[in-house]
């Protein structure tokens, strides 16, 4: 998808826990904020896409936003739901079918770790009975092997998480807004070795919405349009070891994140060196570390030096997860990918306030990764 689409409105609700407020209501509130940002009403919207994992069908929010007969496309793709919803919207606009639409993601998860049903993912009951549906174990096994294969010290995991909490402390919409030291993170309860409690994100609540339109119409709605240069979704290939994989092939294949990022950057006509700010899936701090290389932002094994040098900090040469990522914000699955877009738009507009990347960033990369091996990557620019 080329630069046929612009983001002209953004809206968000604070992430965290909101007793007595449904996930759907949080999504609808985000839509209203995005409409206000674009200076339009719900009646002006020609179509909508969006979804959630646990908080109901997105299309039912027309009951509170307005019964205007618009087509509403429900999208569900695990943690890649938000990125996939944007991809569908861009395809609809790029095809010429519509000029103006809304993309929304929201969720409201139960407390505690995700507890998926194996049969929902094409797996037998045995997979859950041996404990493998608990994704903390998958992520721990994957980062153990990665650290070993590339000679990276486990201590870097605490540094990545500490950055997330620092950045989250600057974000008024983040759930976790108290900075934690590397020692506090490293010394926290061990969940799945080498990942401690504060290296993981938590399932949560929140909603995010975007108003998108044909690029040539963008200045009707905003003085600061941000253009979607590309948006790509990929699933896993044979041999790729991903969440809920029931076996490991002898010959390894690359993660879908590798192909999604390569395609997104290629379609946008930019290289990793052109990215000024990146938002990467950080289900836990090891995921951010691996995704730095999978998206092409560095080579395997270079992460430790980059993190130690401060390159991934807000004022570094490659700022990553400037809003605190999933670790500080939590993960309402349907909203996570769109939170990354929201943050990227703020950064490219120069409206990120206390966490603004200096120097006027021009190009942003977002990356989400969801079970059972789906990745969505987007390139945005001014």
3-class DSSP state for residue 314?
A: coil
| Domain-located, residue 19 | yes
Residue 233 CA to chain centroid, in angstroms?
13
Write out pLDDT tens, residues 84-98. Answer: 999 999 999 999 999
For residue 340, give the 3-state DSSP assignment. helix
Q: How many domains does the chain have?
A: 1
* H-helix segments, 108-240: 125-129, 135-150, 156-169, 182-186
Domain membership of residue 354 (yes or no) is yes
**Upstream peptide bond of 33 is cis (omega within 30 degrees of 0):** no
- Residue 244: inside a domain, yes or no? yes
Average pLDDT, the chain: 95
The bridge status of strand 100-108 relative to strand 47-51 is: parallel
CATH of residue 303: 3.40.47.10
Based on the number of CB atoms within 10 Å of its own CB, is 302 exposed (0-12), middle (13-18) or buried (19 or more)? Answer: middle
Q: Is 184 a domain residue? A: no
Which residues form the domain of 78?
5-112+201-381
Q: Dig out the tokens for 134 from the structure.
A: 């608990």
pTM of the model: 0.96
Structural domain contains residue 130: no
What is the pLDDT, as a whole number, of residue 23? 94
Residue with tokens 């999604």: 260
Q: Per residue in 323-363, pLDDT tens?
A: 999 999 999 999 999 999 999 999 999 999 999 999 999 99
Residue 34 maps to a domain: yes
Q: What is the pLDDT of residues 5-26, one digit of tens each?
A: 999 999 999 999 999 999 999 9
Cβ atoms of residues 203 and 13 within 8 Å: no
In a domain, 128, yes or no: no
Q: What whole-number percentage of the chain has pLDDT above 70?
A: 99
Domain-located, residue 151: no
């Amino acid at each position: 998808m080329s630069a046929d689409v612009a983001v002209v409105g953004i809206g968000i609700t604070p992430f965290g826990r909101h007793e007595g407020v449904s996930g759907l209501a949080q999504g609808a509130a985000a839509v209203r904020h995005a409409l206000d940002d674009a200076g339009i009403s719900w009646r002006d919207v020609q179509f909508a896409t969006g979804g959630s994992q646990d908080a109901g069908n997105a299309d039912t929010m027309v009951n509170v936003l307005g019964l205007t007969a618009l087509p509403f496309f429900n999208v569900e793709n695990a943690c890649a739901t938000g990125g996939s919803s944007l991809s569908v919207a861009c395809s609809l606009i790029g095809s010429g079918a519509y000029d103006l639409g809304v993309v929304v993601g929201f969720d409201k998860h139960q407390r505690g770790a995700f507890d998926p049903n194996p049969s929902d993912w094409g797996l037998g009951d045995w997979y859950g009975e041996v404990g493998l549906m608990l994704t903390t174990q998958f992520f721990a096994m994957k980062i153990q092997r990665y650290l070993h294969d590339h000679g990276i010290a486990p201590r870097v995991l605490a540094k990545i998480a500490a950055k997330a909490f620092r950045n989250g402390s600057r974000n008024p919409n983040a759930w976790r807004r108290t900075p934690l030291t590397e020692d506090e993170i490293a010394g926290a309860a061990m969940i799945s070795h080498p990942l401690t409690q504060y290296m993981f994100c938590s399932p949560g609540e929140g909603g995010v919405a975007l108003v998108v339109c044909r690029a040539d119409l963008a200045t009707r709605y905003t003085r600061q349009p941000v253009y979607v240069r590309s948006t790509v979704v990929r699933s896993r290939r044979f041999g790729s070891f991903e969440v809920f994989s029931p076996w490991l092939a002898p010959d390894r294949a690359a993660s879908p994140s590798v192909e999604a990022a390569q395609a997104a950057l290629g379609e946008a006509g930019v290289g990793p060196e052109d990215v000024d700010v990146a938002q990467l899936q950080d289900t836990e701090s090891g995921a951010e570390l691996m995704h730095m290389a999978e998206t092409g932002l560095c080579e395997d094994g270079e992460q430790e030096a980059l993190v130690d040098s401060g390159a991934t900090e807000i004022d570094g040469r490659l700022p990553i997860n400037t809003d605190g990522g999933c670790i500080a914000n939590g993960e309402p699955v349907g909203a996570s990918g769109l939170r990354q877009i929201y943050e990227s738009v703020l950064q490219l507009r120069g409206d990120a306030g206390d966490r603004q990347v200096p120097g006027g960033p021009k190009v942003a990369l977002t990356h989400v990764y969801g079970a059972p091996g789906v990745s969505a990557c987007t390139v945005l620019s001014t």
